[in-house]
Chain A
Amino acid sequence: MSWLPEDVSTFGGEIDRLFYIIYYITGAAFILVTVLMVLFLVLYRHREGRRATYTHGNTALEITWTVIPAIVFVSLSFMSVSTWGKIKAHAPPADVQVQVTAKQFNWEIVYPGPDGKFGTEDDLQVDNDLHVPVNKVVHVILKARDVIHSFFLPNLRLKQDAVPGRDILVWFEAVKPGKYELPCAELCGFGHSGMRGWLYVHSPEEYAKWVQETWPQK
């Protein structure tokens, strides 16, 4: 069974895979050290007449247990780099753009309207409901009005702080229609708990219908 929430993003699988690789490596290290420790505690418990082994160390052994973790850690770094680059540095071109401005204690969501430009009269602004089409690349321009908030979509393995004074671009592509929670993950004041919105991932037909019903017409 999986403790991770259901993943519906294109890059979430890679994050989860890294998670499990680290999980198995650290799990093995944990079992190895714990078993040895318990074994030593039982085998080498104090008994009358037996004297402890007088040794100050073993250079070969110490080099081994320095080099092996070093190799593991460095490999993990290299495995992480490509996924990190894919998510952070190489956003695919946008199919849909929205602006999300975080404020105490709501997500202010702005759609560009039929003209596709922000800051024009046909923009549509709603609180807390983010509607996107399935299988489309969504660019979110993240802003903050007052303090730092964090845009967290657990089901899309996406988290990014929204920082006042900055426009931060994040992207995702949802692969399954549905309604997913959008909590704030950074302490933002007394109303932090309960600051949340919803991500609605629509099928193409539903999305077209939603656009037609809610966006201002030309």
Chain B
Amino acid sequence: MSDSVTAQAHAVPAHHEELGFWRTYVFSTDHKMIGRQFLFLGLFMLIIGGLLAMMMRWQLAWPETEIPLMSWVPEPYMYGGILPPPTYNAFFTMHATIMIFFVVMPIMVGCFGNFLIPLMIGTRDMAFPRLNMLSFWVGLMSGLVMLSSFFVPGGPAASGWTAYAPLSAQAAFTGVNWGQHLWIISLILLGISSLMGSINYITTIVNMRAPGMTYFRMPLVIWSLFITAILLLLALPVLTAALAMLLFDRMFGTSFFLPAGGGEPLLWQHLFWFFGHPEVYVLVLPAMGVTSDILSTFSRKPIFGYHAMAFSMIAIAFLSWVVWGHHMFISGMNPLLGTAFMMSTMVIAIPSAIKTFNWLGTLWGGSIRFTSPMLFALGFVSNFLIGGLSGIFMASTPVDIFIHDTYYIVAHFHYVVAGIIFALFAAIYYWFPKMFGRTMNEALGKTHFVLTYTFFNLTFFPMHILGVGGHMRRIYNPTQYDFLQPLQGINVFITMSALLLGLSQLPFIVNFIGSLITGKKAERNPWQANTLEWTAPSPPPHGNYDAIPVVYRGPYEYSSPEVKEDWLPQNRQLGTEATAARAH
């Protein structure tokens, strides 16, 4: 069955007729153009999400003072540049929502999933190109709906990205009416977009791999996207259902989550986190996949324990369905359930530990090239290490009693989720030549890494100390509390680091835009990498390959004794020359 589909895909001619401007750049069905569209959407949203964070940091360091350049914002959203509490709540809600749903998901899953899957498994496009286009346009609509909520009376949603009911279920509790409606509608649209994307990814990977591309010859980044797509397919509908119930509570007077009408507030939390924890792995698995590929390429060494890497991702995928309760240890849930969820959470830490050790094993004995993508991939490993280890504290139920809802949690999930930005940049620096046919500037890339890595850690590491001091998250003004007075200096330090972290992105913006316009023309395989995308032209034309490649081996045959060079592409057929080399 899969063979016949593969054969059909091969029959598609490589050269399409010339398409006009609209069908090439706007309503494109080409997976590469859709990937680029998701990238630009994500980068644009990253700027908004980042600016929101910096305004919040300003408020936390110097409460109720004027934020520079913001005095134009009309009342009641700001008062002469001063952030009032409702706007602060709206900002952290939108910061998280934007970063998770409109930055990491569009870039890691939307952009790189689209761009890489057909190219790396050796096919000409996605299984359903039109569905793919629809997925982007619904996703864009979802983003526009989310942004439009900034401009409705009452402002955007202000109940946190977790939207805990009853706070989110009645307008009176937050004073936000249409903002929260639009938040719900936007995320329902995003769920539809992701559903279309994930069906496409799964179908493509199952049916359209090039001849010889068995599952265990797939690059780990494809494995990660495959598992991510399965998680998305199963998790997003749960969120969509919960969101629909929330919208009904708000608009049509139902009481799913309102105790006055017989509803149950904890039901929202169960549904939300049943989606929400697999979602965390949706965000982080592609980052792990990207990191594995880049570490192997620039260590010039096969990935250490390929099968363990693939199976640990599969284990994470299964276990991610039974750990949601660790977000709810102090919610009022039965304490026995707390114990069960603590156990499952400790178990899911094992595959993450395996991955970290295997990355170390990959570096061991390598011949390491410190390129920009490699530096960012190493940065991801280093941050993931801290984020993974800090997670063990909150997995322990008694410790979580104290650190739950404090900055310790904020530190932890920024090391994991904001740490994904390192894998995201690594992927951009690595695949930019293939995506746009031009090379990025290495000096600017390295500067970007050193600054980002430094200020990322100076921003997020001290948050652990705040959390251990008891500093609650989501508070508008820490100076209102006596016991937090001694910690205020740390808040100021974090804010200054966060502002510098923001400024550290300037070299990237200059490099990205500059390289798009004036970058050196890229060759097919600038990194001397093994995977199939590097055998296509840079950038690949519609249809990708001159001829569909045939795969002879796994993706990580670097420094193989079979050849003189230190790389051996997946599709290179070893003939007489290799036999001759071996005879030596």
Contacts and interface: CB of A to CB of B under 8 A. Distances in A.
Contacts of B89: 187, 189-190, 192
Interface in A124-168: 146-148, 150, 152, 154-155, 157-161, 163-166, 168
B301 A26 contact: no
Contact of B389 (A30, A62, A183): A30
B138 interface: no
Given A65-B357, A66-B350, A190-B175, A56 B304 contact: yes
A192 B476 CA distance: 8
A22 B405 contact: no
B301 A52 contact: yes
Given A44-B368, A47-B367, A52 B300 contact: yes
A56 B385 contact: no
Given A30-B389, A77-B346, A5 B483 contact: yes
A50 interface: yes
B399 A80 contact: yes
A191 interface: yes
A61 B365 CA distance: 15
Interface stretch (A81-89, A94-102, A108-116, A201-209): A81-89
Chain B CB count within 10 A is highest, among A30, A36, A45, A187, for: A187
Interface residues of A, number: 83
B305 interface: yes
Contact of B385 (A34, A55, A168, A185): A34
B393 A22 contact: yes
Contact of A185 (B166, B343, B397, B405): B405
Contacts of B476: 192-194
B361 A58 contact: yes
A77 B345 CA distance: 9
A80 to B, nearest CB: 4
Interface string B172-184: 0111000000000
Contacts of A73: 346-347, 349-350, 392
A73 B354 CA distance: 13
B86 interface: yes
A52 B364 CA distance: 9
Contacts of A47: 367
B354 A62 contact: yes
A119 interface: no
B446 to A, nearest CB: 14
A68 to B, nearest CB: 9
Interface stretch (B11-19, B507-515, B556-564): B556-564
Given A15-B401, A186-B405, A164 B166 contact: yes
B404 interface: yes
B341 to A, nearest CB: 11
Given A56-B302, A73-B349, A62 B472 contact: no
A74 B335 contact: no
A159 B265 contact: no
Interface residues of B, number: 95
Contacts of B80: none
B402 A185 contact: no
Contacts of B363: 37, 40-41, 44
Contacts of B331: 161, 163
Nearest to A15: B398
Interface in A43-60: 44-47, 50-58
Interface string A159-200: 111011110100000000000010111111111111010000
B503 to A, nearest CB: 27
Contacts of B357: 33, 62, 65
B405 A80 contact: no
Interface in B326-376: 330-332, 335-336, 338-339, 342-343, 346-347, 349-350, 353-354, 356-358, 360-361, 363-370
A183 B481 contact: yes
Contacts of A88: 335, 338
Interface string A1-32: 00111000000001100110011011001100
Contacts of B558: 52, 54
B477 A194 contact: yes
Contacts of B406: 185
A34 B457 CA distance: 14
B254 interface: no
A158 B401 contact: yes
Given A4-B468, A54-B301, A57-B305, A159 B330 contact: yes
A191 B85 CA distance: 7
B465 interface: yes
A87 B363 CA distance: 45
The 8 residue pairs across chains A and B that have the minimum distance between CB atoms: A165-B259, A53-B365, A193-B476, A154-B470, A88-B335, A73-B346, A57-B305, A26-B389
9 contacts: A36-B360, A53-B301, A69-B350, A73-B392, A87-B401, A181-B482, A183-B475, A187-B164, A189-B167
Interface of B: 85-86, 88-89, 158-160, 164, 166-167, 173-175, 259-260, 263-266, 299-308, 330-332, 335-336, 338-339, 342-343, 346-347, 349-350, 353-354, 356-358, 360-361, 363-370, 378, 381-382, 385-386, 389-390, 392-393, 395-399, 401-402, 404-406, 465, 468-470, 472, 474-477, 480-483, 556, 558-561, 566
